[in-house]
Amino acid sequence: MSQPTEQKFATLAVHAGASPDPVTGARATPIYQTTSFVFNDTDHAASLFALEAFGNIYTRMNNPTQAVLESRIAALEGGTAALAVASGHAAQFLTFHTLLEPGDEFVAARQLYGGSVNQFNHGFKKFDWNVVWADAQDPASFERAITPKTRAIFCESIANPGGIIVDLPAVAAIAKKAGVPFIVDNTLASPYLCRPKDFGADIVLHSLTKFIGGHGNSIGGVIVDCGTYDWNASRFRYKTLVEPNASYNDIVMANAFGNFAFAIACRVMGLRDLGPAISPFNAFLLLTGCETLPLRMQRHSDNALAAARYLERHPKVVWVNYTGLPSSACHSLQQKICPRGAGAVFTLGLKGGYEAGLKFVSALKMFSLLANFGDTRSLVIHPASTTHRQLTDAQRTAAGVGPEVVRLSVGIEDEADIIADLEQALNAL
């Protein structure tokens, strides 16, 4: 008899964490639209509140629909556990809330989503959490940025919006040498194109709003604990993980929960106290989107490569930054980190600068002008006038979104129709 083997990605995307509803037999995961759950008796209730047993208490902290989503994303990323929350920003907030104390620092790649740059530079300052910036294209810059106060390293696997592929093994080695956890935002790649744990990540984050949900109809985020960082062996005291917790009868998270202690701590302290809970309905929609993730991501990547090849040859386009192109400086790294494809999102620079960028995005007809990516539909935005408007000119240039830059998120429509729309918009310039 053949031995059972680990299920493949496409199977996990459909089945991981789910089973028919035991009461009704419903095959799709139900939406458990309830605030709270009945306890078996007082002893059962007490054990749940003391973290002596796992179960449902209140939907702010956990919910059966949410639990299936968490199990599925953890399986796709190879993690030990996951926590789904209200948004990608909420996932980042709870992650750093669990890791940092006032006065602590973390090193982050400067090539990030503009909202993350804003959150790190301004929102986190109110907690006295301080970011030190490094260059995603220069792994050694992360090591140079490390100080005695550094408690984590953060980057995106594929940088938004510039599309840079980060040398994850090189940065992971620097984090390991420094003794700090390596956090990777894997939103642009999705676990279909890249699994950061395989390259040394300890914690993986997603805006589920984007490719995992995939249909532009729901907002969510997730924290995946890879189970690879030994909190007790760390040279630093991550207090939330290794010190007795007064709100849970002095339980020590790292001792009680081992290789999924980080995910538990984010839930039972961060989510409990700060409250950015995901709704059961959004969790249901994101689960549904997850089922087609491998199909969509391959189509996204194939269409984006075709569009990038077309634009690279066009006389009104100065440059195209897509790592799937052999001309990209990151192409060999893309083949190593994301061998199935370079994803859906890339940037281009137009002759005529800022004004040309505005005219081009206005002339597109099938592409929708909006502040999102990862939709089945093709999307476009001019970052300098929108998503990165709050940054200085120097910060925008450093993030790869100068005045001439346009960001495309190529959808799953027919390749010929995508290129036809780009063509007519360029002709209108």
The pLDDT tens digits of the residues spanning 42-65 come to 999 999 999 999 999 999 999 999
100-104, 122-126, 261-265, 354-358: least confidently modelled range: 354-358
Of 192, 98, 178, 99, nearest to 145 (Cα)? 178
Q: How far is CA 77 from CA 87, 187, 263, 327, 354, in A?
A: 18, 12, 14, 30, 39
Residue for token pair 């106060």: 149
Contact 242, 252 (CB under 8 A): yes
Confidence at residue 160, expressed as pLDDT on a 0 to 100 scale: 84
Please say if the pLDDT value at position 3 is more than 60: no
Q: Is the pTM of this model over 0.85?
A: yes
Confidence at residue 387, expressed as pLDDT on a 0 to 100 scale: 65
Q: How confident is the model at residue 394 (pLDDT cuts 50, 70, 90)?
A: confident
Q: How confident is the model at residue 1 (pLDDT cuts 50, 70, 90)?
A: very low
What's the pLDDT tens digit per position in 314-325? 999 999 999 999
Contact 211, 293 (CB under 8 A): yes
Confidence at residue 399, expressed as pLDDT on a 0 to 100 scale: 62
Residue 187 CB contacts under 8 Å (≥ 6 apart), including other chains? 88, 156, 160, 205, 206, 207, 210, 211, 374
**Domains, the chain:** 9-289 (3.40.640.10), 294-427 (3.90.1150.10)
DSSP state of 138: -
Q: How far is CA 404 from CA 353, 354, 381, in A?
A: 4, 5, 12
Contact 311, 429 (CB under 8 A): no
What's the pLDDT tens digit per position in 275-308? 999 999 999 999 999 999 999 999 999 999 999 9
